């Protein structure tokens, strides 16, 4: 169901008009083809809507009324179509007197509303997809960090195991060196003892010989 609000371009209705602009879902911006002034004021009127709503895009239909006064035309169809193209909206020629395309104007504005709703819906879906994608990326990052952490721990454990092996090997080698040195010292001591005993035995023999003479 459409709730139609008709606004007038008079100063005394400015506050009421602004309120309508803020709360309205779409706009039919109308000019008379026999009035140059009404056409030239359209850009300012649309800028007022954008300022009041703080929004550049909204459903709108440009309507050229009084098409029954073709002989009094002051605005060409080309000008109106170019303006509608620059706004990205449909242009419909109407006649309130003959009711030409009056219903079509409202059909067009409903289509524009549905287009916007579809875009908003697609935007929300896209946003949801982006949120899901961000969550997935964050989850993957967390998993990668965990994996990296676990890998680091495994490496640390492996390194600890290697260190233990090296330490054991070093201790074993040190003990082996000490044993060999000890063995070497024993052999040296034994050799010295044998030499000493030999010297003593030789000396005793010499002494005995001298005494015998």
The yes-or-no verdict on residue 211 having pLDDT over 50 is no
d(CA 213, CA 201): 19
**pLDDT tens across 48-76, in order?**
999 999 999 999 999 999 999 999 999 99
d(CA 108, CA 49): 19
- Residue with the bigger pLDDT between 213 and 74: it is 74
Are the CB atoms for 86 and 43 separated by under 8 Å? no
Q: At what angle do helices 42-53 and 14-23 cross, to 10 degrees?
A: 70
Q: What is the pTM of this model?
A: 0.56
The yes-or-no verdict on residue 208 having pLDDT over 60 is no
């Amino acid at each position: 169901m459409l709730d139609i609000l008709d606004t007038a371009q008079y100063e005394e209705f400015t506050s009421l008009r602004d309120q309508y602009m803020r709360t309205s879902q779409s706009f039919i911006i109308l000019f008379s083809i026999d009035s140059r002034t009404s056409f030239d004021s359209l850009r300012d009127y649309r800028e007022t809507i954008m300022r009041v709503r703080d929004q550049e895009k909204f459903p709108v239909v440009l309507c050229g009324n009084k098409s029954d006064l073709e002989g009094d035309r002051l605005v060409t169809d080309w000008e109106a179509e170019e303006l509608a193209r620059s706004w990205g909206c449909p242009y419909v020629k109407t006649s309130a007197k003959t009711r030409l395309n009056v219903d079509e104007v409202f059909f067009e504005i409903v289509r524009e509303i549905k287009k916007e709703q579809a875009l908003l819906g697609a935007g929300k879906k896209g946003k949801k997809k982006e949120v899901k994608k961000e969550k997935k990326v964050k989850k993957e990052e967390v998993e990668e960090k965990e994996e990296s952490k676990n890998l680091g721990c495994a490496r640390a454990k492996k390194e600890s195991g290697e260190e233990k092996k090296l330490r054991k090997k070093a201790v074993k080698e040190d003990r082996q060196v000490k044993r060999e040195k000890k063995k070497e010292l024993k052999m040296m001591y034994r050799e010295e003892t044998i030499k000493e005993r030999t010297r003593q035995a030789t000396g005793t023999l010499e002494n005995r010989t001298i005494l015998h003479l």
